[in-house]
Amino acid sequence: MMDFIVIPILALLAATAVTVARIRNLWAAVMFTGIYSFLSASWMLILDAPDVAFTEAAVGAGITTILMLATLSLTPRRHRKSGRLSSEDFEERPSKSPLFPLLIVTITGCALVYGTFDMPHFGDPNAPIQVYPEPSFVEKSQPDMHGLPNVVTAVLASYRGYDTLGETAVIFTAGIAVLLILRKNTDDKDGSESQAVTGENV
Amino acid sequence: MDLLLAATEANESFNNYELVVTSVAILVTMILALIRAMLGPTVFDRVLALNMFGTKTVLLICVIGFLTKRTDFLDLALLYSLMNFIGMVALLRFSEYGSFREEGAEIGSSAKL
């Protein structure tokens, strides 16, 4: 029933991926990865995975775009023609023939598609994901969680609550460490100026 | 009673038909926006196309939510519009100043004032 939406979305995904690979302007490529994230998130939503779509939209479309742009602002935006590195390092086109990589990619793709034949059909009630660890999660989670409708949230936040707490602590610590490493070191050099700047910002 | 049931069924199918047409129209708009983003000679063509693409994604999610009778998708649409806004601000800021550093912010605030 949703085919008339799914097929155009998948076609748009393929078109966006080809554009990202072919475009030479890195700024536009970052923009197209944002479009790709939006499209794949909508597709995941149609596949009934709203939590994955949520993550994809927040991380893929939001944070990754900003991180990529921040990286671009720290690196030269165009291919460097001259400089310390020789110009051959930044040739626009690879000099070797693309046939061998194309062959490897095709073989790998065929192997992956062959691997999917062993997977259970989409929505199969006898698939391992439905019968393991226990279908009783689906039955018991609602009374256990006082009527929380989403089983994934119940498992993540309650049955596996300490695990999630540990994960959150690890990610929080990593974020603090990255921020401490990346911040500007102006405090030691000229403290008065940086104080004035922060005063202005406040 | 049968007449009432038939009427509600007809109404539902009409609603479905409406939603299907709406989603097809949104998909066509998305394709057009993507073409503009691919062709777009200037930065602003691409920014406009991306912004429109994000808006159409939000609309498509809303329509899918009503089509599948799962209106809790509307929360996701809300998040998508937020992400669209943040990404747009970041893109425009980068294309204006070329960086996210503090100097850029100072220049920006003084220019606005």
Quote the CA–CA distance of A39 and A15 in Å, as a whole number: 11
**Beta-carbon contacts of residue B18 (< 8 Å; ≥ 6 apart):** none
Name, in order, each residue with C-beta under 8 angstroms of A197's C-beta and a sequence gap of 6 or more.
Answer: A186, B102, B106
Residue A191 lies in a domain: no
Put simply, the answer to whether B37 touches A2 (Cβ < 8 Å) is no
| Percent of chain B with pLDDT strictly greater than 90 | 4
* DSSP symbol at A93: S
Q: Kindly tell me the burial class for residue B60, based on how many C-beta atoms sit within 10 Å of its own C-beta (0-12, 13-18, 19 or more).
A: buried
Distance CA B83, CA B89 (A): 10
State how far the Cα of A154 lies from the Cα of A125, in Å rounded to an integer. Answer: 21
**DSSP state, residue A90:** G
**CB-CB under 8 Å, B27 with A35:** no
Arithmetic mean of pLDDT, A75-97: 54
Task: For residue B57, give the nearest of A19, A42, A184 by CB distance.
Answer: A42
- Our CA-based measurement puts residue A192 at a distance from the nearest CA of chain B, in whole angstroms, of 16
* Overall number of domains in chain B: 1
For chain A, the C-alpha Rg in angstroms (whole number) is 24
Domain assignment of residue A43, yes or no: yes
Region of poorest pLDDT, from A2-16, A90-104, B50-64: A90-104
Total domain count for chain A? 1
Identify which of A176-185, B22-31, B104-113 has the greatest average pLDDT: B22-31
Residue A96 has pLDDT above 90, yes or no: no
pTM (global) more than 0.90? no
Contacts of A61 in chain B (CB under 8 A): 54, 80, 83-84, 87
The pLDDT value given to residue A169: 95
Do A30 and B48 form a contact (C-beta atoms < 8 A)? no
Of A12, A34, A42, the CB nearest to B87: A34
pLDDT exceeds cutoff 90 at A106: yes
Please give the residue range of the domain that contains residue A57.
Answer: 1-78
Confirm whether A13 is domain-assigned. yes
- What 3-state class would DSSP assign to A149? coil
**A137-146, A181-190, B31-40: range with lowest mean pLDDT:** A181-190
For B37-57, how does the pLDDT look when each residue is reduced to its tens digit (9 = 90+)?
Answer: 888 788 788 888 888 888 898
Say if residues A72 and A29 touch (Cβ distance below 8 Å).
Answer: no
Q: Is A165 a residue whose pLDDT tops 80?
A: yes
- pLDDT, position A122: 74
How far does the CA of residue B59 sit from the closest CA of chain A (Å)?
A: 11
**Residue A16 within a domain:** yes
* B50: nearest CB among A31, A46, A50: A31
Residue A64: which of B47, B91, B61, B36 has the closest Cα? B91
Judged by CB atoms closer than 8 Å, whether chains meet at B94 and A27 is answered as: yes
A96-113 mean pLDDT: 90
In one letter, which amino acid is A143? P
Q: Which ipTM score applies to this complex?
A: 0.72
For residue B59, list chain A residues with Cβ-Cβ distance below 8 A: none
For residue A165, being part of any structural domain is answered with no
What is the band of B112 on the pLDDT scale with cuts at 50, 70, 90?
very low
pLDDT, residue A107, reads 96
Q: Scan residues 26-65 of A and list those with Cβ closer than 8 Å to B.
A: 27-28, 31-32, 34-35, 38-39, 41-42, 45-46, 50, 53-54, 57-58, 61-62, 65
Closest-CA residue to A60 (of A33, A94, A24): A33
Q: For residue A108, what are the contacts with CB-CB under 8 A and spacing of at least 6?
A: none
Taking residues B13-31, what's their average pLDDT? Answer: 83
The range of the structural domain enclosing residue B92 comes to 2-112
